[in-house]
Every structure is written in C-alpha cells, then in structure tokens.
Structure 1
Amino acid sequence: MQRFILRQNIHLYEAKLSTVPTEGERTILEAMLAASREELVFLEQLWRLLWPELDARPSFVSQIEDILDRAVAAHGADFGSCQIWNDVDGSLALFAQCNFDRQYATKFAHIRDGDGTSCEAAIKGLKAVCIEDLEHDNDYPNLHGWARDRDIRSITSIPIMSPAGKGIGVYSLHYRNPHALSSVECLLISAYRPQFAAVFEGILGR
C-alpha cells in the first residue's frame, strides 16, 4: 500500500504540474514530487545500497513485490517484508516490503547474526517462526519496542529455501492483532514459499 500511495501521489503531482500552476504552486508541487520519488526509490531499491553487487533485474523485483503483496493479502496480514540471504557477509538484506515506511526499512534493512529477530531465527533453523503475541513474548525482546510503536502484535517469519534445502531468504507477515498459524495458513506457506524461492534462485544465478 505504501508503494501504491507513493506512485499515485507521483501521478497526481505530475498531472497537476501539467496544468501550468502558478509559480508558488509549481514550487510546492515540484518539492512534493521530488520527495515522493525519492521515498519510492528508497523503499523499492534499498537492496541496491545494501548489496550493490547483486544483479536483480527490475522484473525480478516486481515479481517479488507481487508475490509478497499477494501473500500478505492471502494471510490477512497487515504488513509484509522479504529479505534475501547475502552469503558474502552472512546477513539478510531487505529486498521488498509491504505497507511499511522508511523508518522500518532503515531499522531492519540489514539483519545480522545476534540481532535477535524472528527472521534471523527462521533462516538459522530453516523453519517458520511464529510469535503469536509480542505482548506476552520472552524470546524476542529486541522487537518489543519497535512493534509496540507500530501497533504490531504478531509476526510470522518463513524461511525461503533453494531446492537443495539451503536458506536463501525469509519473508515475514506482521499483524496488528495476536495471531497463530492455522492449518490453512500452513498450506498458504507451501504455496508461496516456492514462488519466492524460484525468483531468488534466478537472482542468485543458481
């Protein structure tokens, strides 16, 4: 949604500029347009800063964003994120997100060993990690303050694995209310995880 809103704002500002506004209006619109474009580039291409050597064509990025958006909707989640595993420095780099803002993208751009997040635990254990209610969680204290600030109560992180069983990424679903994985959602994970994996395999050249 955040990406969608920014794109809509850009189209709106461009349309208004084409109507030849007054000089004062033009200055304001140009500033708003530049800010929206800069924010969109940051949200969509942060991975270029985190892992500049990674060769990800625009089509790959669009595919991951589309899969993530569909997974968030199918699970009834409020937010989503997807990270790719960087073998070079042993970290998870944020590749796509759904409904988060720049502050989130900055804070969780790079997940390293010892950061104490559910996505770190998922890539290490190669199994889904579900925090049903962060208000009653004792295992991930590093997430509590951040989640409370964004009214997030539950997070599920799912490892993305290659056909050989190697962890190549993680996607996470975030909920505003306490949430436990149902049997139906486990089937959804089985459907979406290989879709993420197929694109990441193409990006990583495997």
Structure 2
Amino acid sequence: MRRERHDKKSKIAIVAIAASAGGVTAIRKVLSGLPGNFPAPILCLQHLNPSETNVLAQVLQLRTELTVRWAHDGEQLTAGVVYVCPPGHYFVVHANGTISLAAQASKHGWHHGVNHFFESVAQSYADRAVVIVMTGTGKGGAEGVRAVSAQHGIVLAQDQASSVADGMPLAAIATGCVDQVLSREAIASLLVSLVCEGKPLSKAQVSNKRSSQSTRLPISPTLLDALENVLERAIAMHRTDMGYIHLFQRQTCTLELAVQRGFDPALIDNMQTVSIGEDSPCVRALRGGETVIVEDIEVAPNFAPHRAIAAASGYRAVQSTPLTSRTGSLVGVLSTHFRQPRRFLQWEMKLLDMHARHAADLIELFQAEKVG
C-alpha cells in the first residue's frame, strides 16, 4: 500500500539514535509512537554482538508503521525509513545524504563508534539534526553530543528512571549539551512536534501522559524491560495484540499490573489492581495454580460480571496462566486476550508454559535481589 507523503514543515533532516543495554525495547517505544510518514530518516546504532545472528531490524519492525531495515554501505537515506546498523559497525553520515558503514576497531570500539557517528551527523547536518542518547552502559556518545551541540543540533537523552542502564545518558547529560531529558515514552511525541509539525524546541510539545504499558509498582527498569519482552513474545505466539502481566503482592493480597499492551489507557484503571477475592480469570488462575481459559466470554456463565469491561476493551476470549517460582510460590499471572472466540492448541499451551516459566524466573530473581 502506497504511503502518503508528509508535508515537511521542519528543517530537521535526520534523527540519530544510539543505545546499548535495554536499547531494543527503548527504541521500539520511540518508533511505535511515530507516524509511518515521518518526514526524516532515522538511524539506529544499537550495541549488538557481532558473533550472533541478529534479528533486530525484524524485531523493531513489529510495532511500527515505519519501514525498518538493515543499513547498507553507500546508500542514500530516505525519509520514513529506519536504518539499523549491522553488528560490528557504526554509521558515518555524509553531507550528500549517504552513509558509510565503518568497522569497529576493537571490542571497545562501539563506544568510540557512537562518538564518530554523532560527529559525522554534526558535520553533515549541523542544526538540521536531532540525536538521542538512550539507555546503555559506559560513556559512548558524550564527545559526539558536544560536536552536535556545537553545530546547534538538538540533543536529547533518556532519563535515568526509564533507563535499564544509565551510563550513556548520564555521560551525555554531564556534558551540559543535552537540550532535554525525557522518559522513553515521551521521546516520540517530542519528535513528532519537532520534525512533523516543525515547532522549535522551545515550543515543542511533550506528552506527559502515562504510558499504556506503565505501572504504579516500584519495578526496576531492567525487570520492566524483561517483562515487556516476555509479554511481547507471548502475544506474538498467540497471534493477538492484547495482554498483560500482573504481579502478586502478598502484603495486600492483590494482583498489581506490571505491563500491558493493546488496552485503551482509559480502561487501565479497571485492571491496575485486582483483589484475589474477585472471580476473574487471572484471579482464578492464581488461586488454582493452573491456566484458566475462557474460549468465548459471551457464553461463559461465570464471566457474566466482566462482560461489560470485556466489551469496552474489545476482547471475546482470554487465557490466564499463573507464574510460579522454582520454589513453588505464586508470583504473578500472564494473560492474553483475543478479539474473537478462541480455542487453544496443545503446542500453544506448551510454549505458553515456557514463557510463564521464564517470566516467573525473572520476577523471582529481581525480588530476591531487592530483598538482598
């Protein structure tokens, strides 16, 4: 399907992103909030292991209307395309709108590569560039943002609270060259304001609306990132677009929402805190210690009290699987929801058990660290 062109109102001609630990989820958050007709190319330099087969471009493509693909040496940049740098390389951007892929000199070359990448953006695009330093370890990019700032480009950094690792953004902030520090959820709205709407930074709007996947629980960004990835895989496996993970709070005997996807933000309060006295699928799964499946909520008699919420949310079937630690403790529930009545195959349930096992291990690990 042909994509409509965006009427470019801004002088911004390139967006450059660099990230390391936790960057995949963070970059996906940004890309998912941008329109498919975004009027500038986006270059993503994510720290990758050169020795492993990588599907980063395919993973990023899952939740964005933009075209995402691996970058090629010497190609011309195109608006609305996200270019992912191959492992073991970094971007060199040229003033004629082409890119080169330079090999990293050593195992520590990635951090130097971020600086060279940003410096080339500064030299080639000057005040027509936006660079973003996202979650990551080390100090990669600090020298590069100085070069961008010196050329009057815009420098953004992810905030500490939403970063899995804060080394890179804090190093950038310490230079005094960062124009705004933002949560990963707020970056997309600022880019839309700057690049699509052509507003100057001083008047650009940042959405402070709570993310549809956010939680009121005091969860570390690392655990939040891991749980979002688990939920994403479970949703993809079930070929749906809705689901959530609740964590069990023993002190209050409630299930508290950790991550969710696909639900209207206005309806999240209905699922934020669930008392174990309720008769919902997630609570029944927790109490019974086994998966609860409702193939069609319209005909399930014990789902009658929840039909109005289900109708408002737009789902007709649900499964809830308890998350059990290695020691046998119940730590949460993983649920996926479906817009049509649904029957489950045996292989699907086996895979779901694997995802639930992984999620429970992650929760138990972080709870143990918190206690320790």
Q: TM-score range by the shorter chain?
A: 0.7 to 0.9
Cα displacement (A) at 1:17: 7.5
Q: Give the corresponding residue for 2:200.
A: 20
Does structure 1 conserve the Cα–Cα contact (< 8 Å) formed by 2:326 and 2:361? no
Does structure 2 conserve the Cα–Cα contact (< 8 Å) formed by 1:75 and 1:188? no
Q: Give the corresponding residue for 2:273.
A: 110
In structure 2, relative to structure 1, the CA distance for the partners of 1:45 and 1:10 (3 Å cut) is farther
Q: Which deviations, in whole Å up to 9, do the C-alpha atoms of 1:147-178 show, x marking residues without a partner?
A: 11222100100000001222110010000000
CA distance in 2, matches of 1:10, 1:104: 25
In structure 2, relative to structure 1, the CA distance for the partners of 1:139 and 1:194 (3 Å cut) is same
User: Radius of gyration: which is bigger?
Assistant: 2
Q: Which deviations, in whole Å up to 9, do the C-alpha atoms of 1:14-63 show, x marking residues without a partner?
A: 54577528x9xx3xx52xx2xx33322x7413224xxxxxxx32111101
Q: Give the corresponding residue for 1:155.
A: 318
Q: Give the corresponding residue for 2:361.
A: 198
Q: Give the SS at the match of 2:193.
A: helix
Q: Give the corresponding residue for 1:47.
A: 217
Give aligned-pair identity as a percent: 21
Does structure 1 conserve the Cα–Cα contact (< 8 Å) formed by 2:254 and 2:275? yes
1:37 counterpart (208, 214, 219): 208
In structure 2, relative to structure 1, the CA distance for the partners of 1:83 and 1:14 (3 Å cut) is farther
1:170 counterpart (333, 337, 358): 333
Paired residues in the alignment total 188
One-letter amino acid of the counterpart of residue 89, structure 1: T
Does structure 2 conserve the Cα–Cα contact (< 8 Å) formed by 1:91 and 1:113? yes
Q: Give the corresponding residue for 1:62.
A: 225
One-letter amino acid of the counterpart of residue 38, structure 1: K
Q: Which runs of 5+ in 1 are unaligned?
A: 49-55
TM-score by length of 1: 0.82
1:143 has 2:306 as partner: yes
Cα displacement (A) at 1:10: 4.0
Greater Cα shift, 156-165 or 189-198: 189-198
CA distance in 2, matches of 1:154, 1:78: 12
Does structure 2 conserve the Cα–Cα contact (< 8 Å) formed by 1:10 and 1:37? no
1:11 has 2:11 as partner: no
> Where in structure 2 are the equivalents of 1:59-98 lying within 5 Å?
59-98=222-261
TM-score by length of 2: 0.47
Greater Cα shift, 191-200 or 98-107: 98-107
CA distance in 2, matches of 1:69, 1:11: 25
CA distance in 2, matches of 1:14, 1:165: 51
RMSD: 2.3
CA distance in 2, matches of 1:8, 1:116: 38
